């Protein structure tokens, strides 16, 4: 019996190792897909199309997940199991142990079903690993990958890279954690030259085969410690972005941790280490000289000269330092890919930041309201706070196990007042008491909420934010900025950071309209 089991395991392992293209034999492969959100749905739908036997599981039972489940059943899922019990154990597929589990990125390694899969030696892939293996398809060009990770700035950088690549005449798209699943892009009837791929630490944890043309870790700071188990675990997963890089590993010269990641990376022979800095660049760096973004890495005469890539003014009238760093990182990626300096400049000029990242949304009575719902950790919130002199700060949420002392002590002098949201903002409240004892703090006690529906009589997400904005408006003075930069995740009271940002924007505009009417 043991011999047969070992033989079956070896046979499965060999089959999985052979699955490196869309045209490989996926038929009948027994797969459990963990999660029915955007990534999980895309993975399940793709695997069904490839002929795999698929069972999907998700703990959530909502109108949305039930609709998603019905769609997957219609297109050929063997089964879709919803509810808390569905994710406690690995389900059988075709009456047997599955060959593979494909997990959505948010699922922690210690989640009961994934932990059981590991104990039973069932391989676990993420949706990004699956996408990498499917990138080659007969009759269609396989897009090259430029991969981007970091604690903050990923979405901005991937958007800038996409804009630069398109300015160079390439068919390019931003995919991954930015919103469009890579699997969806692979299935589009478009022959892409290159993907600009945003990768979270979660996605990198479950990816092992990637080999990008160029890669970058923008920055690192304590984040997602609860998911990774430790800061060291978080750094180790971030560092995986550099593995098997072909041409250039891009790192932040102002953060030694990213340089060490490159030094330790196992890369393709001939791959270069290239740094970016917001200061004056040395050889093999990109940086800033006299208000210009310059390249001293991807030109032959780099020891004596630099190539101009653009100007700081191409980023807007007063680009903050983190925006400059993001632009240089994007430029380094596309320069490694062969994009000319003129296209870098044109791409920067054409780029428009998305919503929810230091986004002014209203102004009245001398007060500006700024939505930075994407500031989901202290590092990102610090970048936001640094941009303003006098702030009424709306903050709090799901803290993810991080500390707030350094953030508060650094910015205490610019705080007019703080409005706390979130089910448990005690860590942030404690840091404020220790380091900003004279700053008034106003908690919004709202209780548990869900997707904009009351739970047990609690306030909805919009009602929470309306109260927070009302408190902020009462304490803001002319010249102040009301900044919603939570330094925490949103999932305790909102569906997503986007919903949280939209709620703030709606409430802020209403408050500004009232102020204008009263004037």
pLDDT at position 456: 33
pLDDT computed for residue 519 by the predictor: 54
pLDDT digits (tens, 9 = 90+) for 249-280: 999 999 999 999 999 999 999 999 999 999 99
103: Cα separation from own chain's centroid: 16
Distance, in Å, from the CA atom of 482 to the CA atom of 363, rounded to the nearest integer, reads: 10
Q: Show the domains of the chain with their CATH numbers.
A: 28-122 (3.40.50.720), 131-350 (3.40.1190.10), 359-518 (3.90.190.20)
At residue 489, the pLDDT reads 87
Distance CA 468, CA 489 (A): 17
Q: What is the pLDDT of residue 458?
A: 67
Model pLDDT for residues 41-57, shown as the tens digit of each residue? 999 999 999 999 999 99
Residues of the chain with pLDDT under 50: 1-5, 448-457
pLDDT at 6: 52
Q: Is the dihedral of CA 203, 209, 212, 214 positive or negative?
A: positive
For residue 261, what pLDDT is reported?
97
Which pLDDT score is estimated for 451? 41
pLDDT one-digit tens code per residue, 187-220 = 999 999 999 999 999 999 999 999 999 999 999 9
Specify the pairing of strand 172-176 against strand 194-198: parallel
Rounded to two decimals, what is the model's pTM? 0.77
Among residues 212, 216, 174, the alpha carbon closest in space to that of 192 is found at: 174
Known binding residues for ATP are: 150-156
All residues at 6 or more sequence positions from 161 whose CB lies less than 8 Å from its CB, including other chains: 146, 148, 172, 174, 196, 330, 333, 334, 347
pLDDT at 7: 54
Q: Known binding site: residues?
A: 150-156
d(CA 296, CA 304): 9
């Amino acid at each position: 019996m043991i011999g047969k089991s070992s033989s079956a395991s070896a046979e499965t392992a060999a089959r999985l190792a052979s699955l490196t293209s869309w045209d490989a034999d996926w038929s009948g492969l027994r797969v459990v897909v963990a999660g029915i959100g955007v990534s999980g749905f895309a993975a399940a739908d793709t695997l069904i199309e490839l002929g795999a036997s698929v069972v999907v599981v998700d703990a959530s039972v909502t109108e949305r997940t039930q609709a998603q489940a019905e769609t997957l059943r219609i297109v050929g899922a063997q089964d879709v199991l919803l509810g808390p019990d569905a994710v406690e154990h690995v389900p059988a597929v075709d009456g047997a142990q599955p060959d593979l589990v494909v997990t959505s990125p948010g699922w922690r390694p210690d989640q009961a079903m994934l932990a059981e899969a590991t104990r039973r030696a069932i391989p676990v892939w993420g949706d990004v690993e699956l996408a990498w293996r499917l990138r080659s398809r007969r009759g269609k060009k396989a897009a090259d990958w430029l991969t981007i990770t970091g604690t903050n700035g990923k979405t901005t950088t991937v958007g800038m890279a996409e804009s630069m690549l398109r300015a160079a005449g390439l068919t390019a798209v931003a995919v991954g954690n930015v919103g469009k699943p890579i699997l969806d892009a692979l299935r589009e009837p478009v022959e892409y030259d290159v993907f600009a791929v945003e990768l979270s630490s979660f996605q990198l944890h479950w990816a092992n085969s990637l080999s990008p043309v160029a890669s970058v870790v923008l920055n690192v700071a304590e984040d997602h410690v609860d998911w990774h188990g430790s800061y060291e675990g978080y750094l180790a997963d971030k560092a995986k972005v550099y593995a098997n890089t072909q041409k250039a590993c891009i790192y932040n010269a102002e953060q030694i941790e990213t340089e060490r990641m490159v030094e330790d990376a196992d890369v393709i022979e001939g791959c270069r280490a290239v740094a970016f800095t917001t200061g004056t660049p040395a050889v093999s760096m990109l940086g800033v000289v006299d208000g210009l973004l310059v390249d001293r890495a991807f030109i032959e005469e780099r020891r004596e000269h630099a190539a101009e890539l653009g100007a700081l003014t191409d980023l807007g009238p007063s680009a903050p330092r983190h925006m400059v760093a993001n632009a240089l990182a994007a430029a380094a990626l596309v320069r490694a890919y062969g994009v000319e300096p003129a296209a870098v400049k044109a791409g920067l000029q054409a780029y428009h930041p998305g919503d929810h990242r230091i986004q002014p949304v209203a102004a009245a009575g001398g007060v500006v309201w700024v939505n930075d719902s994407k500031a989901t950790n202290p590092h990102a919130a610090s970048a936001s706070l640094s941009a303003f002199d006098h702030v009424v700060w709306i903050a709090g949420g799901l803290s993810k196990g991080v500390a707030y002392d350094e953030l508060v002590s650094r910015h205490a002098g610019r705080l007019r007042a703080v409005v706390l949201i979130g089910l448990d903002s005690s860590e942030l409240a404690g840091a404020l008491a220790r380091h900003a004892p004279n700053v008034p703090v106003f908690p919004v006690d709202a209780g548990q909420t869900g997707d904009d529906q009351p739970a047990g009589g609690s306030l909805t997400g919009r009602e929470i934010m309306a109260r927070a904005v009302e408190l902020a408006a009462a304490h803001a003075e002319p010249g102040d900025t009301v900044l919603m930069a939570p330094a925490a995740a949103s999932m305790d009271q909102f569906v997503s950071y986007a919903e949280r940002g939209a709620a703030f924007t709606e409430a802020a505009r209403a408050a500004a309209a009232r102020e204008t009417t009263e004037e």
